[in-house]
Structure 1
Amino acid sequence: MTFLKASKHMQRRITNTLRGAAVFASLGLLATGCSTAASEGSEAGDEASLSYMADDGTCESSPIDGIDWDAAHKFVAPFDEPATDVLATEPLAEPISPDTTFAFLNNGTPIAGIFREGLEQAANAAGVKFINVDTGTDAQSINAAMNSVVELAPDVLLDQSVDAMFFQDQLEQLKDNGTVIVYGGQLNAEEFGLIDSLGGAGSVQVNSEVLSASAIDLTCGTATEFVFYSVPELPSATLQTEAIETSLAELCAECTLRVVDISILDPSPADKIISDLQAHPETQFFISMADQFQIGLHEKAELSGVENARGIGQSSLPTNFQQIADGQQVAGYAVDFGLFMWLQIDEGLRRVQGMDVPYLGDWENVAQTISHSITIRNADEYLGGYVAYPGMEDEFKRMWGK
């Protein structure tokens, strides 16, 4: 565990030496309406008056001086709104050639299997050839697989699972052959002369800002002691830690952020959180990198008498939505994984035709479209899973001439 004091001027650095991609859910919190931790008679907005946003979205207390609650609230508000499109509205410039080939790098992990399912479904809808390339996870097998990809010379290479650092020689050959490389969910696109795609460094930055602003918003600007539960195995852990630290400092220069690592392999992450909160009763709110960690947290908090188990996490699961609806979790941050995959195929099609891809680089708009803040006010709508844009398949088919 490390202590970090939020620093407004801290430099951001991107470190990605791990391979693979992962999608995990984060902890939501115990929601009890707008309760206050202050003793009777405390002034609203006083440092002793800690309060949390009520179920109806209102705040009982005023923000502490120096905390920009208005900015936080304004920033997160669009993430409560439904998506109005799928980030692209312009049809493709040309009909799709049935000979167009998409190759997908599959490292054999469970998450890569999910990637494949969504990408192949979208590729079939577009009427293009989809080739699954088994890469394995060790350097030798990746090298052999990438040699075969170079020989294949696909029109588009879909890489959401294998870091380009493992196939730099083949990468240059693919570029020379004119292969479009859709590098989704990776943090080091710029390092290899690639385009930052969905789930990359830009997306991580915005998602971190959403989580930080939500922490300020949901505590009504009255909290200053926060903890971030990071997942050290994820390539984005370092970037997200620093982005949360910086964005939190911009809203609250005097706020303190602790950082605690919880392994994705931990058999009982909720117990780890309870132990941490017991050791740090001063903690007023947490941010988690994996909302699945909070499943069952409410019961454990009640049994142990922990009263400060309140927070928000990302990639929430339907179980998290149910806990939020039941008042057992404060909030979650969901992503429509299906839309993410269809957009990866859309990016490849547009770039093959030399078209502009309107959503690349517009990461705040991307996040507002494929992600959503989940609270007790809307959790009932998503108990079966979060879908950002119902009917998205028909919209993509329209744009793809299908």
Structure 2
Amino acid sequence: MRTRTSLPVLGLTAGLASLVLLSGCGGGGGQAATPNSEEAQRAMQELIDPYLGQPSDFPITEPLESPVPEGTQIAYVDNGNALVSLMYQLMLPAAEELGAELYVVRAGTSASGVQSAFSTVVQQEPDAVINTAIDPALWDNQREQLVDAGIPIVSLGTVADPASGLVQPNGSAAFELQGRLQAAWLVANHDEAVDAVFYEHTEIAYGAAVKEGFESQLEESCPGCTVRVVQIPIAEVGNQAPERIVSDLQSHPDTDAVVFQSSAVATGLPSKLAVAGMDDIEIVGANPLPTNLQYLKDGQSTVELGTDLNTLAWTAVDTAARLIIGQEPQENVIDGEALVHQFLRPEDIAFDPTQGFSGYPDVGDRFQELWDQ
């Protein structure tokens, strides 16, 4: 692997637990690396600066015009994925504060299980539905039935067409930005072109948007950089993924940086990398879980693009409330840009990693002020 010139080498980041399988490599094969232009590095530094040391702006500022009706029920479909289940737990305090009942409908990971769960929701006729990261293509018929029944659907982490009737607070725009920021980090922190690997889950609806953002930004700002895209089945997260990653990196020794679509896939990775003698690889993760944050705090990863899931959970409940009472959501929600990001480095983990990253620890108070008008 080529020696990097700007970033310190940090212990293998098991914490970028998201998507890591590594496939084709773009190594330099002993050739001199291409220098990155100072102009490009400055531009990319300006792009990431607003996300260093502080979170991006709080997403919701407009008051809720009226309370939700007494007895309001909001259905949440949970397919058992760790992130999906976590989001439900984060939404419960928001729903309680709002005065609504948020209840869960269990679904398996199979298409038939998802369809069955959403069919149950259609029959229940709740006041609104919240979905997290379950591809709408898997429940398209039920989506149409819900829309026809006038039941609002808030969908997180999906990239459906606006004509679908879904309101997506963190849609294509937010995920394309994630990819662009990850690419900008690499260019801003490297004096030479980078050979990167990007790990994705094709089963996750937003994956294509992240990849598009990463590839396009890297191509624009670093013509000498290369990236190979490797898919990791979501079923391997939490079990086989670390072995896949290590094997891939061993097959592509010129890889400079590992980029995760989602860091959940890196669970257990640091120890595997250490055993393989590969704990000098740079890792740029995203959407870290508490385990990933602990890895980062321990110096076992380079950087995580943190997503404030707690604020997103409250935003989802807030969006459902507005749709229920007939109030138009904010423009950034409609545009899919209502997501709080912050780059997290080891020195930024001054909080308890087990509690997850929260850019706005007072999120409940902020929404309470908006709801008590």
Q: TM-score range by the shorter chain?
A: 0.7 to 0.9
Hey, what does 2:126 align to over in structure 1? 154
SS in 1 for 2:159: coil
Question: Counterpart of 1:129?
Answer: 101
Distance 1:158 1:317, change over 3 A: closer
Higher helix share: 2
1:274 alignment partner in structure 2 = 246
Alpha-carbon offset, residue 382 of structure 1: 5.0
Q: More deviation in 226-235 or 128-137?
A: 128-137
Cα displacement string for residues 5-37 of structure 1 (whole angstroms, at most 9, x for unaligned residues): xxxxxxxxxxxxxxxxxxxxxxxxxxxxxxxxx
RMSD, aligned α-carbons = 3.4
Greater displacement, 221-230 / 267-276 = 267-276
1:246 and 1:140 map into 2 onto residues whose CA distance is: 35
Distance in 1 (alpha carbons) for counterparts of 2:3 and 2:126 = 62
Distance 1:173 1:362, change over 3 A: closer
> Is structure 2 residue 238 aligned with structure 1 residue 244?
no
Cα pair 2:74 2:129 within 8 Å, conserved = yes
Task: Say whether 1:201 aligns with 2:156.
Answer: no
Q: Which region of structure 1 is more displaced relative to structure 2, 374-383 or 291-300?
A: 291-300
Q: Which has the higher contact order (CA 8 A, sep 6+)?
A: 2
1:213 partnered with 2:193:
no
* 1:254 aligned residue (221, 224, 245): 224
Percent of aligned pairs sharing the same letter: 25
**Deviation of the 1:248 alpha carbon:** 0.9
SS at match of 2:372: coil
For 1:315-358, what per-residue CA distance to the aligned partner results, in whole angstroms no more than 9, with x for missing partners? 22334334333433221122222221111010111223333322
Does the aligned pair in 2 maintain the 1:53–1:218 contact within 8 Å?
A: no
User: What is the correspondence of 1:2-401 to structure 2 with a 5 Å cutoff?
Assistant: 50-52=5-7, 64-65=36-37, 68-83=40-55, 86-136=58-108, 145-160=117-132, 162-190=134-162, 192-198=164-170, 200-219=171-190, 221-263=191-233, 264-265=236-237, 267-294=239-266, 297=269, 300-306=272-278, 308-358=280-330, 360=332, 366-367=338-339, 370-381=340-351, 383-384=353-354, 385-401=356-372
Residue in 1 aligned with 2:23? none
- Quick check: 2:78–2:104 contact (8 Å CA) kept in 1? yes
CA contact (8 A) 1:215 1:287 kept: no
- SS of structure 2 residue aligned to 1:73: helix
- The residue that corresponds to 1:40 in the other structure is none
SS in 1 for 2:75: strand
AA at the equivalent of 2:239: P
For 2:49, give the aligned amino acid: A
* Number of matched pairs: 346
Q: Displacement of 1:291 after TM fit?
A: 2.7
Q: Is the 8 A contact 2:152 2:166 kept in 1?
A: no
1:54-80 per-residue CA deviation (whole Å, 9 max, x = no partner) reads: 99xxxxxx9623871112111111112
Q: Which has more radius of gyration? A: 1
- Distance (Å, rounded) in 2 between the aligned partners of 1:210 and 1:235: 19
Q: Distance in 2 between matches of 1:348 and 1:241?
A: 29
Contact between 1:270 and 1:297, CA under 8 Å: does it hold in 2? yes
CA offset digits 1:90-144 (Å, max 9, x no partner): 2211233213332223345554433332223321110023343345555656555
CA distance in 1, matches of 2:168, 2:293: 30
The answer for unaligned runs of 5 or more in structure 2 is 11-33
Using the TM superposition, name which of 260-269 and 276-285 deviates more: 260-269
TM-score normalised to structure 1 length: 0.73
Q: Read off the aligned partner of 1:223 and give its amino acid letter.
A: A
**SS of residue matched to 1:395:** helix
Distance 1:122 1:48, change over 3 A: closer
CA distance, structure 1, for counterparts of residue 109 and residue 242 of structure 2: 30
1:228 maps to a residue whose letter is F
Q: What is the Cα deviation at residue 249 of structure 1?
A: 0.6
